[in-house]
Structure formats: C-alpha cells, structure tokens
C-alpha cells in the first residue's frame, strides 16, 4: 500500500458516523508517518475534496491545526449532485431545473432555492467573461451552496442526537 493510501485510510478511520470532524496537526501527522508535511498536504488536497464531501479548514502557526469535516455522507443525494450531476460546468437553465428538483424533493427549502437561483442567475454572473467560464463559476457556486446546506443539515442532526456536546472535535496524535 502506498503512503498516500495509508494516510488517507488513517484519517478516514478517524472520521466515523459519530465523529464527522477530526482535528489534526500537520507536522505531528507527518512525523507519525515519517514523511514530509507536503505529503500530508497532497493527501488532503487530492483525497479530501469538496467533490468527495469534505471541507478542510486550517490554521497556521504554532497552535495551528487542520480540521477535516465530512459534510456529505457517501451515497447521499448531495454527494451524487456535487460529484456526478453538476460536473465542472452548469448552464443557468439546468441549474434552475436542478434547484427546482431539490425543492420538490424537500432537500432544500423554498427560501434556500430562491437564494441559490439568485446566486447562479445570469444577473449575478454578469461579468465580462466567456459563457464557458460563467458556467464553470455557476457550477462551483452551486456545489459550494449544496455543501453548505449538507453541512448545516449534518450539524443539526448531530446536535439533535446529543444536545450537550459539540459535533465531535477529535484531537489525534
């Protein structure tokens, strides 16, 4: 097994159903695996992406950390939409149809749908650039909005399970 695979597996093992968030120190993780911190960066950048349903937050400095948050469960509708259906580009009409479908399926509220439609509208993206770039920007905006919705849904579900604890910060290594 390659080192990248081992690091990915180690981190994913820490991310469980009950703990959708893990906090790590890059240098300590690199030391643990006897590799350069850039190897850790590579794994994070390629294996824990938004399209894979993860958000990486980091803080640099002496007390710095990397927080990996699983915002979308594998096999969920949000995971499918973000990684498969939206793709790298998305036209305004297609985005509108997708948002309407999400509202009908009660995956987003009417208010969220209105905000999403406004954010990906031709008026919002009326900057001098080729249409292909506007469609790429529209896809990124919608993916980020869906990730935010999925994350807030996950945080609410986690909060509902246990009113007394934060959504699982885990200090490892």
Q: How many domains does the chain have?
A: 2
What's the helix, strand, coil split of the chain in %, to 5? Answer: 55, 10, 35
* Boundary residue ending a domain (35, 70, 105): 70
Give the mean pLDDT of 130-159. 80
| 119 shares a domain with 64 | no
Residue 36 to residue 42: CA distance in whole angstroms: 10
Strand locations in the chain, DSSP E?
Answer: 21-24, 54-59, 65-70
Residue with token string 């905006």:
141
Q: What is the pLDDT of residue 171?
A: 34
Q: What is the pLDDT of residue 7?
A: 93
Residue 53 to residue 47: CA distance in whole angstroms: 10
Q: What is the pLDDT of residue 156?
A: 45
Q: What is the pLDDT of residue 164?
A: 33
* Boundary residue ending a domain (32, 53, 70): 70
> What global pTM score does this model have?
0.56
Q: What is the pLDDT of residue 50?
A: 72
- pLDDT band per the 50, 70, 90 thresholds, residue 163: very low
| 93 shares a domain with 65 | no
Q: What is the pLDDT of residue 15?
A: 82
Average the pLDDT over each of 23-27, 109-113, 133-137 and give the range with the smallest value. 23-27
Q: What is the pLDDT of residue 83?
A: 67
Residue 166 lies in a domain: no
| 154 shares a domain with 98 | yes
Residue 100 lies in a domain: yes
DSSP string, 31-62: HHTTS-HHHHHHHHHHHS-GGGTEEEEEE-ST
Residue 27 lies in a domain: yes
Per-residue model confidence as pLDDT tens digits over 33-87:
999 988 998 999 888 887 677 878 887 766 668 888 876 565 567 767 776 678 7
| 99 shares a domain with 138 | yes
């Amino acid at each position: 097994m390659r080192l990248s695979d081992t690091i990915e597996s180690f981190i994913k093992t820490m991310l469980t159903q009950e703990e959708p968030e893990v906090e790590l120190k890059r240098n300590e993780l690199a030391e643990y695996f006897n590799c350069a911190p850039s190897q850790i960066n590579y794994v994070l950048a390629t294996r824990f992406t938004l399209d894979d349903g993860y958000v990486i937050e980091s803080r640099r400095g002496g007390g710095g950390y990397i927080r990996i948050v699983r915002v979308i469960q594998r096999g969920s509708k949000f995971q499918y939409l973000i990684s498969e259906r939206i793709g790298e580009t998305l036209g305004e009409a297609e985005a509108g149809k997708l948002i309407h479908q999400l509202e009908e399926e009660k995956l987003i509220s009417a208010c969220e749908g209105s905000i999403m439609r406004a954010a990906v509208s031709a008026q919002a993206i009326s900057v001098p650039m080729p249409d292909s770039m506007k469609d790429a920007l529209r896809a990124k905006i919608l993916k980020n909005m869906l990730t935010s919705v999925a994350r807030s849904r996950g945080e609410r579900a986690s909060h509902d399970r246990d009113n007394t604890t934060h959504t699982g910060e885990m200090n490892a290594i």
